[in-house]
Amino acid sequence: MRRSLRTVLAPAVTSLLLATTVVTGSAAPAAAETPDCPWVDSDAPVEQRVQQLLSRMTLDEKLDMVHGAAAPLQFVGPTYAGAISEIPRLCIPQLGLTDGPAGVGNGHTGVTQLPSPMALAASWDDDLATRYGATIGKESRGKGADVALAPTVDLLRDPRAGRSFETLGEDPHLTGELASAQVRGIQGEGVLAQAKHIAAYNQETLRNLPANDAKVDQRTLQEVYLSPVQDVVDAGVASVMCSYNRLNGVHACNNSYLLNQVLKGQFGFEGFVTSDWFATQASHAAANAGMDLQMPGGCHYGPRLRKGINSGAVTTATLDGMVSRILRPMFQFGLFERDGGGSPDDVVTNPDHAELARQVAQQGMTLLKNDDELLPLGEGTGSVAVIGDAAGKDVIGSGGGSPHVIAPRIVTPFEGIADRAEQAGADVAFDDGGNAAKVAADADVAVVAVSKWSTESKDNDDIALSDQDTKLIERTAESNPNTIVVLNTAGPVEMPWIDDVAGVLAAWYPGQEYGTALASVLFGDSEPGGRLPATFPVSQADMPTADHERFPGGSYDEGLGVGYRWYDREGIEPQFPFGFGLSYTTFAYSDVQVRGDGAAGTTVSAEVTNTGDRAGSEVAQLYVTHPESDREPPKRLEGFQRVALEPGESRRVEFELDDRSLAHWDTDGEQWVRSAGDYPVAVGGSSRDLPLESEVSVAETTPVSEPTPPPPPHAPEGDDPALTKAGNVLRCPAESLYSAVLGGISLFGLPPGKQAEETPDNPTADG
């Protein structure tokens, strides 16, 4: 979205701003011919180097370190999504920040279009997530950037959310584990990871405006929406991005409870907090609340913050702390010693990265229905009809907005199936939908590809496929009972046609290797490795957020009932449950064992056996039920392990509990507490298929965390005072206008960007 917004909006607002545009940067002292920078190439401890450098900085230089270098009319940039300018006098290098969570974005080319994070989440594989993160890190660094704006730790609260594909699903444990793995992968390549967003950012409608106010009780906030943030902090994430929404009336980027008390206090986060682009809505209050870096420009944290320092509204100690938090990871990651390398114009994709994209797409593809074991397609399949524009020109590899990545080329479903069918000696026909019934009737198997677009900047109205796609499926199924539907969607959709088709495969937004991965799964060269990271409801009305007061109204009064926890609590049967996914083989569970008293280090293990006749992977899942007094949902995911097994092979999987696995948030004490009592545990292949049961007994109630610390001195209760707010608007008109436009644009959205440098197309008449 950032490149799209700049392209669409900048010309429209230029004439409004020319008369009031101000220069927000401040001139640093002229660079010395030979800078004296003893903190470079130094063996001294990082903290000593930070303080040594900080003591030499002028006020101007400190202010330049806490805001972006974009000009007033730039929505992103310069060069990347954002950047902090270099300070040659002090040998401080530029810090470039680039999108995003599915690969290098911002309109850059020569990069790998990875499958969406939702597709990655369907793999339930932290090793794969580490490699996914490493690919983002390598390509970001190859483009010369220092910070990757990834991973996303927002939860899928409602599949209508425009950024649903950017999430890692509906469960905080799954999200936290996979996001932490991505952090390790990104930062293992010398690039700073920036997790986003804190917190409760789950919709686009009227974002960044007062009406977008998430009303969340403290327990739900801590157990659900902040839990993955704590996981990535524990994994060592260098930076965290604050979100567009308000939380209980206070904007997230000047919310001292979120940033000072929880993130920096309770979680012990030592990195820096960055605003989302134009999410800065205060100057003095944001600094005092714990936001360290304004993006992409610098008015609020330039002249407005200077005024706060001069008036005493913001202390110099606060500013020094902000600068120190940015410098610290720059030293830790060796950015001061790095000799450039990498350019935005460099081609950074390569065959290894494309192969990783293919593996993620394959392992994330989730088989939801397979009547009469129609799949995998075998030697008896003499002809295949591939139907729908979504198999050709309308293919979606990447969703829209800041996670959007432009592929060099996308392998379409038709191309992948046609290439693989040729090897099998099968004929392939294509129809865009106009003659679907006849083409399907003439084939042994019909594959119908359908899609639903989703993008940052606008929420969807529903989770239904278009009428055109629904009718296409129905016409094809009437003509051929062996119809397989491939869903090229951001997440869950309704399936009123489910009983009429033989197979359903969720492909998500699978990146540039879509067709190759799809064909591999359909023909059985690889298994459909995915398990659902999100519940598929029968009807939108069944969703926990179906009530307009909840989405997009902002009331989170479903509380802890997010995703499968809601369906379990309310006794609603989903179309397909969380954790579900079919395989081309079968698995059995046996011999569950529990060792420990519920404290960290307690283990639950079980035997998993491949009872089929071909190799396959199972995702074993552990769910915990709390004592009734804890008032938790019926069960919570607290462990998972992917295991690959040959036919007849067995292996023991083990889940190790941590301090939060059996704990709940005690609002009165503002801390995590593990209650005395018996905790039933269950192991199996999905949230609704748990054949093994045991229990963990906890002898006494025990706090397992320190309480959330109180507000620090000078912590704001909300926004800047009225006069300061008026000064912000008058002094920073461009930023104020862009901030409002972000909300207004959500009412109609933005046009999709291109999917690939080489435009996808339908096959010609001669193939």
The radius of gyration of the chain from alpha carbons, rounded to an integer in Å, stands at: 26
Q: Where are the beta strands (DSSP E) in 110-185?
A: 147-148
d(CA 459, CA 457): 7
Q: What is the pTM of this model?
A: 0.95
Distance CA 370, CA 584 (A): 9
Going by C-beta distance under 8 Å and a sequence separation of 6 or more, which residues neighbour residue 429? 383, 384, 385, 386, 439, 442, 443
Q: Is 386's pLDDT higher than 80?
A: yes
Instruction: Please classify residue 710 by burial: count the beta carbons closer than 10 Å to its beta carbon, then call 0-12 exposed, 13-18 middle and 19+ buried.
Output: exposed
Q: Model confidence at 540, in pLDDT bands (50, 70, 90)?
A: very high
Before 101, cis peptide (omega within 30)?
A: no
Which of 74, 239, 47 has the alpha carbon at shortest distance from 147?
A: 239
User: CA-CA distance, 224 to 617, in Å (whole number)?
Assistant: 29
* Share of residues in the chain with pLDDT > 70 (%): 95
Please state which architecture CATH assigns to domain 2-12+52-75+83-337+720-747. Alpha-Beta Barrel (3.20)
Helix (H, G, I), strand (E, B) or coil at 618: strand
Residue whose structure tokens are 């009530």: 547
For residue 181, pLDDT over 60 is answered with: yes
Give me the helices (H) in 503-556, please: 514-522
Q: 493 with 487: CB under 8 angstroms?
A: yes
Segment 504-538, tens digit of pLDDT = 999 999 999 999 999 999 999 999 999 999 999 99
- Here the tokens at position 362 are 């394959």
Q: Around Cβ 765, how many Cβ atoms within 10 Å?
A: 5
What distance, in Å, lies between the first and last C-alpha atoms of the chain?
35
pLDDT in tens, 110-162: 999 999 999 999 999 999 999 999 999 999 999 999 999 999 999 999 999 99
385 contacts 427 by C-beta, under 8 angstroms: no
Distance CA 115, CA 512 (A): 7
3-state secondary structure of 207: coil
Residue 547 neighbours by CB distance under 10 Å = 13
- 16 — pLDDT class (breaks 50, 70, 90): very low
Per-residue pLDDT of 263-296, as tens digits, reads 999 999 999 999 999 999 999 999 999 999 999 9
Among the listed ranges 13-22, 457-466, 600-609, which one has the minimum average pLDDT value? 13-22
What Å distances lie between residue 352 and 132, 134, 345, 508, 598, CA to CA? 12, 12, 20, 22, 43
Identify the pLDDT of residue 26: 42
Query: Which pLDDT value is given to residue 340?
Result: 72
CATH level 3 topology of 353-550: Rossmann fold (3.40.50)
pLDDT (0 to 100) of residue 76: 85
**Per-domain boundaries in the chain:** 2-12+52-75+83-337+720-747, 353-550, 587-703
φ/ψ bin of 752: left (φ > 0), alpha (ψ from -120 to 50), beta (otherwise) = beta
d(CA 154, CA 168): 8
Tell me the average pLDDT across 430-439. 96
Beta-carbon neighbour count of residue 52 at 10 Å? 14
Task: List, in sequence order, the alpha helices (H) in 256-315.
Answer: 256, 284-289, 303-311
Helix (H, G, I), strand (E, B) or coil at 396: coil
Q: How many residues does the chain have?
A: 767
Does pLDDT of 41 surpass 70?
yes
Phi first, then psi, for residue 616 (nearest 5°) are -170, 170
Architecture of domain 587-703: Sandwich (2.60)
- Kindly compute the dihedral angle of the four CA atoms of residues 85, 89, 93, 95, in this order, to the nearest 10 degrees: -30
Cβ proximity of 236 and 187 under 8 Å: yes
Contact by Cβ (8 Å): 200, 255: no
What is the Cα–Cα distance from 110 to 128, expressed in whole angstroms? 22
**pLDDT tens per residue across span 337-355:** 998 789 999 999 999 999 9
Predicted confidence (pLDDT) at residue 5 exceeds the cutoff of 70: no
- Active site members: 276
Res. 373 pLDDT band, cuts 50 70 90? very high
Share of the chain above pLDDT 90, in %: 90
Sheet holding 246-247, edge to edge: 213-214, 246-247, 250-251
Structure tokens at 453: 């677009």
Of 70-84, 665-679, 689-703, which range is least confident? 70-84
Nearest CA-CA partner of 400 in 453, 465, 325, 335:
453
HSE (CB half, 13 Å, CA atoms) of 117? 34
Tokens of 489: 């969607």
Confidence check: pLDDT of 581 > 70: yes
- C-alpha dist (Å) from residue 761 to 135, 411, 414, 482, 767: 28, 10, 10, 26, 11
Biggest alpha carbon–alpha carbon distance for the chain: 81
Q: Give the confidence band of 32 by pLDDT, cuts at 50, 70, 90.
A: very low
pLDDT of residue 33: 65
Q: Is 349:406 a contact under the CB 8 Å cutoff?
A: no
In this prediction, residues 595-619 reach a mean pLDDT of 97
Residue 4 has pLDDT above 50, yes or no: no
- DSSP bridge partners of 678: 697
Pairing of strands 616-624, 636-645: antiparallel
Quickly state the pLDDT bin for 10 (edges 50, 70, 90): very low
Reading phi first (left if > 0) and then psi (alpha if -120 to 50, else beta), residue 368 is in: alpha
pLDDT bucket at 765, cuts 50 / 70 / 90: low
Across 301-305, 727-731, 762-766, least confident range = 762-766
With beta carbons less than 8 A apart as the criterion, state whether 522 and 503 touch: no
Residues facing residue 400 across a β-bridge: 455
Q: What is the pLDDT of residue 79?
A: 87
List C-alpha distances in Å: 113 to 103, 511, 521: 6, 5, 20
Q: What is the mean pLDDT of residues 63-89?
A: 92
3-state secondary structure of 190: coil
> What integer is the mean pLDDT of 184-208?
97
* CB of 174 closer than 8 Å to CB of 155: no
Task: Using pLDDT thresholds of 50, 70 and 90, give the confidence band for residue 750.
Answer: confident
Indicate the DSSP class of residue 757. Answer: S
What local confidence, expressed as pLDDT, does residue 766 receive?
Answer: 52
What integer pLDDT is reported at residue 379 of this predicted model?
A: 86
- In this prediction, residue 593 carries a pLDDT of 98
What is the CB-side half-sphere exposure of residue 736 using CA atoms within 13 A? Answer: 17
pLDDT of residue 767: 53
> Whole-angstrom Cα distance, residue 315 to residue 292?
14
Exposure of 477 in the CB half-sphere (CA atoms within 13 A): 18
Mean pLDDT of 394-412: 97
Closest by alpha carbon to 680, among 598, 573, 576, 616? Answer: 598
Check if the beta carbon of residue 543 is closer than 8 Å to that of residue 567: no
